[in-house]
Amino acid sequence: MIPADVRGRLKKLKETIERHRYLYHVLDRQEISDEALDSLKKELYDMEEKYPELLTADSPSQRVAGKPLPEFKKVPHKVPQWSFNDAFSEEDIRNFDARVKRFLKAAAEVRPLQSRGQTSAAPPTYVCELKIDGLKIVLEYENGLLKTAATRGDGEVGEDVTMNVRTIQSVPLRLSESLDLIVEGEIWMKKNNFLKLNKERAKSDLPLFANPRNITAGSIRQLDPAVAASRRLEAFVYDIALLGPSSELPISKSDFDINKHHKYRSLTSILPETQIEELKLLQKLGFKVNNHFGLCKNIDEVIAFWKKWQTSATKEDYLVDGVVIKVNERKYQDALGYTGKAPRFAIAFKFPAEQVTTVVEDIQLQIGRMGTLTPVAHLKPVLVAGSTVSRATLHNEDEIKRLDVRIGDTVILQKAGDVIPDIVKVLTEMRTGKEKPYVFPTKVPECGGNGRIERIPGQAAWRCVDKNSGAQHRRKLYHFVGKHSFDIDGMGPKIIDKLLDNHLISAANDIFTLKGGDLSELEGFKEKSVTNLLSSIEKAKKVPLARLVIGLSIPQVGEETAYDLADHFGDLEILRGASFEELQTIDGVGDVVSESIVQWFKNKDNKEFLKKLLKVIEIEKPKKVKKTKSEQKLKGKTFVLTGTMEAMSRDEAKGKIRNLGGDVSSSVSTNTNYVVAGENPGSKLEKAEEFGIKVLNEKEFLKLIK
């Protein structure tokens, strides 16, 4: 028999520890020292060791428990997990507001959206919540106890990471009410914890983590819960996905019925009728909710909230990359429902490009595949737009002179999303007099030969005099297998380097003769990775003429010129035999490009390489499909693309233009008909305005190619 006083003491210990956990990790308050709390936990642990029958799943001692797992199990989500569409500008968010109102008006005509005696549907209001840059987590509670924690995965199936999530102190193991509940939230790491962890790793000569988001994801995917516990992660919960029994679930996205499943209303518990009330309910149940949410009466107040947090977000101890906007009224959310990938009632309003300051520690030259030398600034590592960066391209000698950037300068660095970071300004007032101007050297050893370099006549760029340097050779191979040429999936620069260093290939044609046995002994190549790589190589053996021409790395021939050549000649043999005069007849192919093409095909080494390559690949014959006039509506029109688009990638946009008979150019000229300008357009937009060329925004472009 267990003495009553023991049971009473253990009960008090659990309640007290849980209370102080909630105060510290959810409400950010501390009433007793860490040492005092640790002492209480030690007493609880000792009592449970002595009386194991008193141990329960929701005990504070069970946050780090069990042996490392052999693997993560797959978990079908009981409610499909969508992602948000993005907005990047005030225009985008006003369009979202217009769509919401337009959809609600149409829905009201079919089924009135009246509630609680309302005689007419009031306009929607919006709730703004900070968009935390972390890892999404889905938590399921059964009768108030944490049952499962899963990653988002593909939206329908995630990974069971329950043991790791139990180590997060701000995630309650037991709710304040005995409910069946599924909630969604974000796991994150404090910036200060991230910096401390990297300092410790630096002392131990371990690789540094890139950013708090990456380490959060990596920590949750550790098979040993003790590792996750040591990372001291946090969690904000922001949404109730399901409230009540879930006997009919899980379901797939294709079978999802919003009226039947979304925000399921049980017999005993009714979900709040607004998003604001839902956030308050989550707090009441014991979850940590980010307190910086606000109710906005209209879209102007939403924009004001977004503008305020663009500057305020940096003061928080977690990464924020935007604001999530949600329609506040539940009845409107239900009426709006979902598209195939995202809710119609919510959108992520992203912040603009982030800027930080750092120091230029060095400037070094990087050799391109054609021997062109690009100056690269080596920076004091700095966290910008969620990632730690230590490099920024300086483009060419003229750009260095324009910025007047020197080694030792303090500079403003800008990075937007996945775009390569740029130095946008030098803070000359920070100079001490020790900064050194950069002078291009006369020799670069990596260029091969005697290392001599020269400035390209008429350009701001420098290049290696030796056209066959080892560094260039590697970069040509990287380019050959890249997305725009042969597109060999899984064969990036590291694999190319490994194949070269192990003498498995010496030229591009050797790639297509590799066998399983050649690869299986290489470090890091398991059976599956060998099979996958060989499959990718086999698939790449059939290549369209344009992609082949791109892969040949003919000087002066870029992607657009390669497509022009393929369209004009249609056959490699005809292209190989084309004269200087014939090439000049192609729009956009001038004297320099024509001469370069003729000389490349005349070169003895190139002829031999092409002969070997054509033995192991097959050039796809273009399919002759007779197109209607509407399918060729862009025939004779030349487009230039600048900036990024939301609806499609630049490659997809180029493909759409070409499929409709249009041409794509990489530079603006008097022959350009349209310049398509996305977000953050470059100097091409200024040139278009200078030449009086019509500029299309993304919406206008999409309408044109529809």
3-state secondary structure 111-129: CCCCCCCCCCCCCCCEEEE
Residues 229 and 326 in one domain: yes
Residue pLDDT, tens place only, 155-203: 888 889 999 999 999 999 999 998 889 999 999 999 999 989 888 888 8
Q: Count how many residues are written for the chain.
A: 706
263 falls in which pLDDT band (50, 70, 90)?
Answer: very low
Residues 341 and 361 in one domain: no
For residue 118, what pLDDT is reported?
45
Quick one: average pLDDT of 80-98? 88
Residues 443 and 523 in one domain: no
CATH number of the domain at 223, please: 3.30.470.30
- Establish if 482 belongs to a structural domain: yes
Boundary residue ending a domain (303, 328, 350): 350
- Establish if 80 belongs to a structural domain: no
Closest to 151 (Cα-Cα) out of 70, 235, 230 = 235
User: In the structure, how many helices (H) and strands (E) does the chain have?
Assistant: 25, 26
CATH number of the domain at 644, please: 3.40.50.10190
pLDDT at 386 over 60: no
pLDDT at 629 over 80: no
Which of the two residues, 409 and 266, has the higher pLDDT score?
409
- Establish if 637 belongs to a structural domain: yes
145 falls in which pLDDT band (50, 70, 90)?
Answer: very high
Helix (H, G, I), strand (E, B) or coil at 301: helix
Residues 324 and 418 in one domain: no
DSSP assignment, residue 223? Answer: S
Q: What residue ranges in 156-314 does DSSP mark as E strands?
A: 157-159, 181-188, 234-243, 294-296
- Establish if 190 belongs to a structural domain: yes
Residues 573 and 675 in one domain: no
Helix (H, G, I), strand (E, B) or coil at 41: helix
- Establish if 443 belongs to a structural domain: yes
For residue 252, what pLDDT is reported?
47
Residues 575 and 530 in one domain: no
Residues 311 and 339 in one domain: yes
φ/ψ of 284, rounded to 5, equals: -65, -35
Residues 371 and 509 in one domain: no
Highest mean pLDDT among 72-76, 232-236, 408-412: 232-236
Residues 407 and 497 in one domain: no
- Establish if 57 belongs to a structural domain: yes
CATH number of the domain at 523, please: 1.10.150.20
User: Over pLDDT 70: what percentage of the chain?
Assistant: 88
Please check whether residue 466 is in contact with residue 447, taking contact to mean a CB–CB distance below 8 angstroms. Answer: yes
Residues 189 and 236 in one domain: yes
Closest to 295 (Cα-Cα) out of 278, 276, 281 = 276
Residues 165 and 269 in one domain: yes
Boundary residue ending a domain (350, 378, 405): 350
For residue 28, what pLDDT is reported?
59
Average pLDDT, the chain: 83
Closest to 116 (Cα-Cα) out of 330, 290, 422, 324 = 330
Determine the structural domain holding residue 602 and report its residue range.
545-620
CATH number of the domain at 13, please: 1.10.287.610
For residue 626, what pLDDT is reported?
54
Give the residue numbers annotated as catalytic, written as ranges: 131
Boundary residue ending a domain (517, 540, 563): 540
**Least confident piece of the model among 28-32, 270-274, 583-587, 595-599:** 28-32
Q: How many domains does the chain have?
A: 6
Q: In the block, which residue shows the tokens 């947090």?
A: 309
- Establish if 88 belongs to a structural domain: no
Residues 266 and 159 in one domain: yes
pLDDT at 460 over 70: yes
Please check whether residue 320 is in contact with residue 133, taking contact to mean a CB–CB distance below 8 angstroms. Answer: yes
For the entire predicted model, the pTM comes to 0.50
DSSP assignment, residue 26? Answer: I
326 falls in which pLDDT band (50, 70, 90)?
Answer: very high
Which of the two residues, 325 and 672, has the higher pLDDT score?
325
- Establish if 589 belongs to a structural domain: yes
For residue 259, what pLDDT is reported?
46
